[in-house]
Chain A
Amino acid sequence: MNDGTALPDPLLDVRGVRKSFGAATVLDGIDLTVGRGNVITLIGASGSGKSTLLRCINLLEPIDEGTIMFDGVDIAEPGIDADPIRRRIGMIFQSYNLFPHMSVTDNVAIGPRKVLGVDKATARRDALALLTRLGLAERADAYPDQLSGGQQQRVAIARSLAMQPDVMLLDEITSALDPELIGEVLDVVRDLKAGGMTMLFATHEMAFAREISDRVCFLHRGRILEDGPPEQIFGAPAEARTREFLQRVIDAGRL
C-alpha cells in the first residue's frame, strides 16, 4: 500500500484551492493528492472545510482559485461540462439524499438508466445484484422512508456504485446514524477498500479513520495543517492544533 505521495499519475490532484462564502473563507489554499486505490480521510472540527472540499471536487460548488486535476484534466476550469465528470465521481451524503418517490431498486437503477442509457431491465438486474452484495436484497422493493438509517446509507452507496465511479467522496456518511447502525455502513466502506476503490472520506469516526486510511489529513480553518499516515497523525501529531483536536475527541469518548 502506498501513502499517496510522489505518485507519477495521481487520480486526483488538488492545488491551491480557495473558496469563500461571502466574507467567510472556507478553503484557504488546499493541496491534496489522491493516488489510485488510496483511501484518504479528512478529519477536523465542524466548519474546518471538509464537506466544502468534497463538494468542490464534485463540482457542486465552484472554487474561487486553484486547480483540481482529475485523471489529468483540470475540472475546475470555468465553463467545463460538469455532467460527464460527476458521473465518474461518486458522492455519498451525510443525509443519504435518497429519492423518496422511488423504490430502493429504482434509486440504484436510475443513474445508469438516465445517465449511461442502460435499458431498464438491465439496470434493475444490475441494481439487484449490487443490493444483494450489500445485504439489501430483501429491501429491494421497499421505499427509502421504510428503511433504517444504516440501510438508507447503504442504498445510497449502492446508488453511487452503480455508476462505477473512479473515486468516491464520502461526506460524514455516518454522522446522522445511531451508534449501533454505524458499523454496518463502515463494513461496506471496508469492503470497498478491499475492492481497491479510491476514496476521500470526511469523518468524525477517528477509530475507523485510523484503521482504514492510507493517509489522514487534519483540516483547520480551511487548510490542511498536517497530513501523514494514520500512525503518525494519531500516534505522534506534530502540530499543537492536531493534538488539541484529538484531545477533544478523546475527551468526548470517540477515540
Chain B
Amino acid sequence: MTAAPTRRAAYERAQRRRAAIIATASTIIVVTALIVLVPRASGWEKVRQAFFDGDVFTDSFPRLIEAFWLDVKILLWSTPLILIVSLLVALARSVRSPALFPVKAFAVVYTDVMRGIPVILLIFLIGFGVPGLRIVSRTWSDPVIWGTVALVLSYSAYVAEIIRGGIDGVHESQRAAARSLGMTSHQAMNTVVLPQAFRNIVPPMMNSFVSLQKDVALVSVIGPVEILRQAGIDKSKFANFTPYVAASLIFLAITIPCTRLADHLLARERRRTGATTIS
C-alpha cells in the first residue's frame, strides 16, 4: 500500500460513498412510506390499541423481564450440556473400531430420531412422560428440568452433525501430511484436524445458539412461567396483545447481538480463507 491515494483508490472511495448515499436514501424512503402508509390502513387504529398500548407495556414489562430470567437460566444450563452431548455423539459417529459398532449405531439412530421430531413434540413427550413414570423424586419432576432435557437432546443431534461436518470438512490431505511426519492418528486429530474443524464450525454453532435462545420459549407448553407464558397471562389479563410485542423486543435485545456476532465471525472466516465476495 502506498501512502498517496491512487486514482483507483479515489474511484473506489467515491463508489463506496455513492453506495452509502443510495442505501441511506432508500432506507429513509421505505421507513417514511411505512410510517405514512401503515396508519392509513382502515384497521390500523384497532391494531395500534391492541398491540401498542403504552400503559399495558409499562405495566407488564417488569414481569416479563423477571419471567425472562427463567429463559436465560434454561439457556445457560442447556448450552454447555448440548456442547458435551453433541461432541460425544459426533465422536461416537466417527469411531472406526468394529468393537465400538453399537456405540456408532446408537449415535446414528439418535441423530436421526432427534432430528426427525419437532422440538415442541419432544418437549411434550419428555416433559410429561418422564415425570409420569414416577421413577424420579418430586423435586426432579420439575417441568423446567425435563423441558431443558428435551431441548438438550434435540439440539445435541443438530450440533453433533455440525461438529461431524467440521471434522469431515478438513481435507484428507491434511491428515496425510500430518501422518507422513510420523504423527499418530490421535496426534493428527488433535493438532491438525480438530483445530481446523473447530474454526469451521464456530459460525454454524453460533446460528444454532441463536435458534436455541428462541426455542427456550417452547418449554412454556408444559407449564413453566417463562416469558412467553407470562406474556400470555398478561395478554389475558389486559385483553391486549402488547405483552407479546414487549416479549418480542426482549428476545430481540439478546438475539440481534448474537446474530451480528455470528455474521461477523462468518465474514472474518471468509476473509481469512481468502474467498472474495462478488457484488
By a beta-carbon cutoff of 8 Å, the part of chain A in contact with chain B is 58, 60, 82-84, 86-91, 93, 95, 97-101, 110-111, 114-115, 145, 159-160, 163
Contact = CB atoms under 8 A, between A and B. Distances in A.
Contacts of A111: 181-183
A89 B184 contact: no
Interface in B157-197: 173-174, 176-184, 187, 191-192, 195-196
A163 B183 CA distance: 11
Given A95-B173, A101-B199, A110-B181, 13 more contacts: A82-B179, A83-B183, A83-B184, A97-B174, A97-B177, A98-B177, A99-B174, A99-B196, A100-B196, A101-B195, A111-B183, A160-B180, A163-B181
A232 B6 CA distance: 57
20 contacts: A58-B180, A60-B176, A60-B180, A83-B182, A83-B184, A86-B181, A87-B182, A90-B180, A91-B180, A95-B173, A99-B178, A99-B192, A100-B196, A101-B195, A114-B187, A114-B191, A115-B182, A115-B183, A159-B181, A163-B181
A89 B191 contact: no
B196 A60 contact: no
Contacts of A60: 176, 179-180
B181 A115 contact: yes
B274 A145 contact: yes
Nearest to B184: A83
B273 interface: yes
Interface of B: 173-174, 176-184, 187, 191-192, 195-196, 199, 272-274
Contacts of B183: 83, 111, 114-115
A33 to B, nearest CB: 22
Contact of A115 (B174, B187, B274): B187
B214 to A, nearest CB: 32
A84 B180 CA distance: 10
Nearest to B272: A145
B276 to A, nearest CB: 13
A120 B40 CA distance: 72
A75 to B, nearest CB: 13
A120 B177 CA distance: 20
B5 to A, nearest CB: 25
Contacts of B179: 60, 82-83, 86
A98 B171 CA distance: 11
B181 A93 contact: no
Contacts of A91: 177, 180
A54 to B, nearest CB: 10
Given A99-B174, A115-B187, A86 B199 contact: no
Contact of B177 (A93, A114, A115): A93
Listed residue (B173, B181, B273) with the most chain A CB atoms within 10 angstroms of its CB: B181
Top 8 closest A-B pairs, CB basis? A87-B182, A97-B177, A111-B181, A91-B180, A115-B182, A86-B182, A97-B173, A101-B195
B182 A93 contact: no
B203 to A, nearest CB: 16
Contact of A93 (B173, B199, B273, B274): B173
A231 B274 CA distance: 45
A183 to B, nearest CB: 24
A200 to B, nearest CB: 14
A101 B196 contact: yes
Contact of A86 (B180, B192, B196, B272): B180
B17 to A, nearest CB: 30
Nearest to B174: A97
A99 B177 contact: yes
B176 A93 contact: yes
Contacts of A163: 181-182
B228 to A, nearest CB: 41
A101 B173 CA distance: 14
A110 B187 CA distance: 11
Given A83-B184, A115-B187, A159-B181, A97 B196 contact: no
A88 B182 CA distance: 8
A101 B177 CA distance: 14
B273 A145 contact: yes
Contacts of B178: 99
Nearest to A163: B181
A79 to B, nearest CB: 15
Listed residue (B180, B192, B272) with the most chain A CB atoms within 10 angstroms of its CB: B180
